[in-house]
Amino acid sequence: MPVTDAVSSLRSLLSELGEECDLGAGTVLWREGDPGDEVVLVKDGVLQVVHEGPEGDVVVLRSLESGSVLGEIACLDGYPRSASVRAASDCRISRVPAAEFRELLHRRPEILEALLLQQAQIVRSLTGQVTRNHRRAITDPLTRLYNLGFFTERLNMELERARETGDPLSLVMFDIDNFKHYNDSYGHQQGNAALARVGEILKGTGRRGDIVARYGGEEFVALLYGASRDEAARFAESVRSAVAAAAFAEGRVTISGGVASFPADAATRDALVERADRNLYHAKQAGRNRIVAETE
């Protein structure tokens, strides 16, 4: 039997077997931790699967409209409810005790197969949602590069790995030259476009596995695991020359950079960032549109 037919058959059987009742909007059907002692068919209205936070805040995980079946997993595995369910509107539902539901599935194994396929679809959807939310949490929305929080977390991890393995690690800090003047001359919209374009160049120039992030404002940073100072300097020079040669909607854009390496230039995270930032400052002082990697 096709999955859609099996699900339709389940809905009809639950409607026949169940005890029909009404729920007013806001009524809690189940709370997280309640026993899984029944299956519910939504006949009219909308139910919401929600998670209640420790301070009373509520997050809606899913909305279930007419024709939805819920509670079947807890009835099958015997575990308590994993989330709370409440009525988002006035609802009419059909309630079937767990024992009757399990007996129904023994008689109609094709319905069990359909339910398992439905659960697989829900898991895929939730996995995709979690992935998208995680990506948004670690990404700068304008440049699509990693954000400062994710960069800092990875820098700590990679430094620890480098200490254990003896591998080198390099940082390059970049800053768009005279960006305030560019913004003042052409407007914030063009300034944002320039930031996004520089982000594209950085992402396209780096090696697979490099962590390239927006450090803040018009500053960027690249974390190159396994790269020596000379290798990082070559990468930085590639970025500099690519930005200088790139076409921008308004004006010309250049970028300066400072390089620092572990363990050659610094032994700690803060010292490494400070050395890269200091070399960036020297690049600015020396006339901009250049890379400084020399140690003092």
Q: Which residues are catalytic?
A: 218
What residue has token string 């990506």? 135
- Identify the bridge partners of residue 38 per DSSP, sorted by sequence position: 97
Q: Which two tokens stand for residue 47?
A: 């139910």
Sign (positive/negative) of CA torsion 245, 248, 254, 255? negative
According to DSSP, the β-strands at 69-70 and 169-176 are unpaired
Give the phi and the psi of residue 228 in degrees, each rounded to 5.
Answer: -75, 175
Indicate the burial class of 189 (C-beta count within 10 angstroms; 0-12, 13-18, 19 or more).
exposed
